[in-house]
Structure 1
Amino acid sequence: MAKIVCLKEKGNRERRCGLLPVNVKSYILLGADVIVESGLGESIFITDEEYTNAGATVLSNRAEILAQADVILSVDKLPVEDVAHAKGKTVISFLDPFNSHDYVDLLCQHQVTSLSVEMIPRSTRCQKMDALSSQASLAGYVMVTKAIAELSSILPMMMTAAGTIKPAKVFIIGAGVAGLQAIATAKRLGAAVTAFDTRSVVAEQVRSLGAKFLDIDLGETGQTAQGYAQALNESQIAKQQAAQAQCIAQSDIVITTAQLFGRKPPVLINHDTIKLMKAGSVIVDMAAESGGNVAGSVSGETTIIEGVKVIGTGNWPSEVALNASQMYANNLLNLVSEFWGKDTKCFSIDLDDDIQKSAVITHQGNITNKTISDLRTQAMEQAS
């Protein structure tokens, strides 16, 4: 029987895990043996006993677990020190292949087959395994709650005997999965919400959630085949910054969600615009960990700029780790099930399949994803 294993995350800020007891039962029904590292679910209050009762084997030695593995599941990519123990195995995780060239080379060196869940295509067939979208939805919710925790006022309008409190104004830049969830959350809590996205096609989605859509004529923008926003040129970015400055200045909370897949995010809020905001206002920069949408935001920290709190703590889904783990573990189960051989009882690699053609990054010592391979070649040429 093929063995599916799940390791405890080593990052101090990562509370999610890639396997819950209910998923163990599903993998066993596929015909797999399941091994988990002791303490896998402790950050979300799931005990080793619960995994054992579900049918998993619980072990403490990571090297021993990896030695037995056929498929390795995790949230973050396997730590460098574990890669050598994964030789010839298949690993599935968030991989960040656009920014991890040396790590991808290491996977090739050790003949590791790797699937990057960020690279799963956005299509009807892939919805149930789209971890990027499931986690982004939770991130949108968390960013609103983080902003509320730092704001010294409430979101909804209140009419009291002591006077009327006006609703807080929230401005959300980017109406992708995270942005739409942030809009919905802020509206449910009673805020007056305005949103902007370079893709005018999402304006109706914004309005359907009860928010206003800020119209800015940027000329031709559009979106990619996968539904991501196209990168703007410098002139368009400058025009967007100027047009949204007044809305930002009037807002109590601003949330930026402009992340360009595989590229550095654009700076949408400069220092001059921050100066226009009221002291005590809050900005949440979703892209802080990959470069930032806000001038001066710091990855992993909350800073104060001109009296405005700028939150760049990142790893938002980990703040709601139980639900995030439930969704992510189900995404992985659906992905594994899609390519699980009923007769062979193992996970099969098929690089002619549309999903694997995109999601498989390394296989048999080679970079198989063309986009990542081309980027790696360019990086090597520039370094030489």
Structure 2
Amino acid sequence: MVIGIVKEPEKEARVSLLAEEVKNIVDQGIEVWVEKGAGEKAYCLDDFYQKAGAILKSRRDLLHGADVILSIHQIELPEDLKSKVLIGIYQPLYHSSMIEKWAKNDHVVFSLDMLPRTTRAQTMDVLSSQSNVAGYGAFLIAAARYPHFVPMLMTAAGSVKPANLLVLGAGVAGLEAIATGHRLGAVVEAFDTRPVAKEEVESLGARFVMVEGAEDAAKAKGYAVEQSVEFQIKQKEKIAACIKKADIVITTAQIFGKKAPLLVTKEMIETMKPGSVIVDLAASTGGNTELTKDASEVLTKNRVTIIGNSNIPATFSSDSSKLYGHNISNFLKLITSEKGGLNLDFSDDLVIGTCMAKGGVIVNDRLNKIITEKQAAQTEKTI
């Protein structure tokens, strides 16, 4: 079996596997091909891969010759390419067209962002590993743009008040943002629709903002769930009160497979102090603020900076790649035999849970439902 590692698009600095993980895979008797220059932005040079036992290839040769192709993002594949195993973070519920296209060419598609979030899956959980980086980076980016100090300082020249940090969403990214902000001296408040998040938030030194009456999120795979209109009104009032005094706001709330919930309105932003900073980690799925623009920065009339960035892990390319590579390596163990061959056991809940397409058809129920709804909407539009 040959595993191929492709170079990511221009704006992505991560790579699927660093040389250290490649060496472990090569030691198992599996051949690894790496597209030339694939790891350069993650500071893993071609020489490092060669020393680890990998073989450098052109993109064309790699795509046609490898059995398993690793990429973080969706990639364009040649029309004549058939029957490959594709592994990455493909966001199939948002980008179903590409998965359909791959299915028609008989590719077996594994999207690791669809991995069931169980105890057994923790070592393969790419969303958690990359969210840790995102939460850490979000606060550092905000602090760098904030025109004041973060911690309280008492000097001969006078005292400086600490920054007030508000984190909306206390999942993996939110908790890391809370921890980083608290360590650097910010006064932290955090909001989450899940009451169970209160203990974690407070253990990190933050105050938990409670809103009563939230829907149970226990079955939402770590994401937020859609809330009732009554709850949303109460939530809006509570966030509006908190955001007036916030200097830095980090938003992380996403609903699995749907548009991100709108938590921060234009009117709320207009009440913020000049120089305040918002970092929206949900930008790629619509954003948690009314003014967020994905992969860009907005400066409002009252001088509040809104940074829409869903790809902060790429900023910390080396360690992000290291963590992602550990996840990938553990997943590869599920689909390879002891002798280094491909062994796709679709009776395994993690294997079938991440599989989007095989045998020329879409096999994920949720993705099939989205595709069917799109087709019905298109038919109705045509009529």
TM-score interval (norm. to shorter)? over 0.9
| Structure-2 residue corresponding to 1:8 | 7
1:330 and 2:326 aligned: yes
Q: Following the alignment from structure 1 to structure 2, what is the Cα–Cα distance between the partners of residues 336 and 367? A: 21
Equivalent residue for 1:33, pick from 7, 31, 34 = 31
Q: Is the 8 A contact 1:255 1:283 kept in 2?
A: yes
Cα drift, residue 85 of structure 1: 5.3
Question: Structure 2 counterpart of 1:381, which letter?
Answer: A
Question: Structure 1 counterpart of 2:50, which letter?
Answer: T
**Residue by residue, what CA displacement relative to the aligned partner does 1:320-367 show, whole Å, maximum 9, x if unpaired?**
000100000111000001221114x22322222111221000111011
**Residue by residue, what CA displacement relative to the aligned partner does 1:171-192 show, whole Å, maximum 9, x if unpaired?**
0000000000000000010100
Q: Is the 8 A contact 1:175 1:202 kept in 2?
A: yes
Q: Is the 8 A contact 2:224 2:255 kept in 1?
A: yes
Cα drift, residue 45 of structure 1: 2.2
Q: Following the alignment from structure 2 to structure 1, what is the Cα–Cα distance between the partners of residues 80 and 40? A: 24
Q: Helix, strand or coil: the match of 2:180?
A: helix
Cα drift, residue 44 of structure 1: 2.1
Superposed counterparts of 1:85-124, under 5 Å: 86-124=81-119
**Residue by residue, what CA displacement relative to the aligned partner does 1:217-271 show, whole Å, maximum 9, x if unpaired?**
2344433252332211333222211111111110100111001111101110001
Q: Helix, strand or coil: the match of 1:332?
A: helix
1:132 and 2:131 aligned: no
Q: Following the alignment from structure 1 to structure 2, what is the Cα–Cα distance between the partners of residues 89 and 303? A: 41
Cα drift, residue 29 of structure 1: 2.2
Superposed counterparts of 1:1-384, under 5 Å: 2-9=1-8, 11-59=9-57, 61-79=58-76, 82-84=77-79, 86-224=81-219, 226-305=221-300, 306-343=302-339, 345-384=340-379
Structure 2 gap segments, 5+ residues each: none
Cα drift, residue 199 of structure 1: 0.1
Q: Following the alignment from structure 1 to structure 2, what is the Cα–Cα distance between the partners of residues 152 and 183? A: 20
Cα drift, residue 100 of structure 1: 1.4
Q: Following the alignment from structure 1 to structure 2, what is the Cα–Cα distance between the partners of residues 85 and 293? A: 41
Q: Following the alignment from structure 2 to structure 1, what is the Cα–Cα distance between the partners of residues 336 and 81? A: 20
Q: Helix, strand or coil: the match of 1:84?
A: coil
Range with greater deviation from structure 2 (200-209 or 279-288): 279-288
Give the fraction of aligned pairs with identical amino acids, expressed as a percent: 38
**Residue by residue, what CA displacement relative to the aligned partner does 1:197-225 show, whole Å, maximum 9, x if unpaired?**
00000100000001100111234443325
Range with greater deviation from structure 2 (34-43 or 216-225): 216-225
Q: Is the 8 A contact 2:214 2:227 kept in 1?
A: no
Q: Over the residues paired in the alignment, what is the CA RMSD in angstroms?
A: 1.3
Q: Following the alignment from structure 1 to structure 2, what is the Cα–Cα distance between the partners of residues 124 and 367? A: 26
Q: Helix, strand or coil: the match of 1:217?
A: coil
Range with greater deviation from structure 2 (212-221 or 248-257): 212-221
**Residue by residue, what CA displacement relative to the aligned partner does 1:291-327 show, whole Å, maximum 9, x if unpaired?**
0110111111111123211111331100100010000
Q: Is the 8 A contact 1:87 1:112 kept in 2?
A: yes
Aligned residues: 378
Compared CA separation, residues 228 and 196, structure 1 to 2 (3 A): same
Q: Is the 8 A contact 2:166 2:248 kept in 1?
A: yes
Q: Following the alignment from structure 2 to structure 1, what is the Cα–Cα distance between the partners of residues 303 and 205? A: 30
Question: Structure 1 counterpart of 2:59, which letter?
Answer: R
Compared CA separation, residues 63 and 78, structure 1 to 2 (3 A): same
**Residue by residue, what CA displacement relative to the aligned partner does 1:26-63 show, whole Å, maximum 9, x if unpaired?**
1112221010001011112222111111100011x212
Compared CA separation, residues 85 and 155, structure 1 to 2 (3 A): farther
TM-score relative to the length of structure 2: 0.96
Q: Helix, strand or coil: the match of 1:261?
A: coil
Q: Is the 8 A contact 1:221 1:232 kept in 2?
A: no
Structure 1 gap segments, 5+ residues each: none
Question: Structure 1 counterpart of 2:343, which letter?
Answer: S
Q: Following the alignment from structure 2 to structure 1, what is the Cα–Cα distance between the partners of residues 154 and 199? A: 31
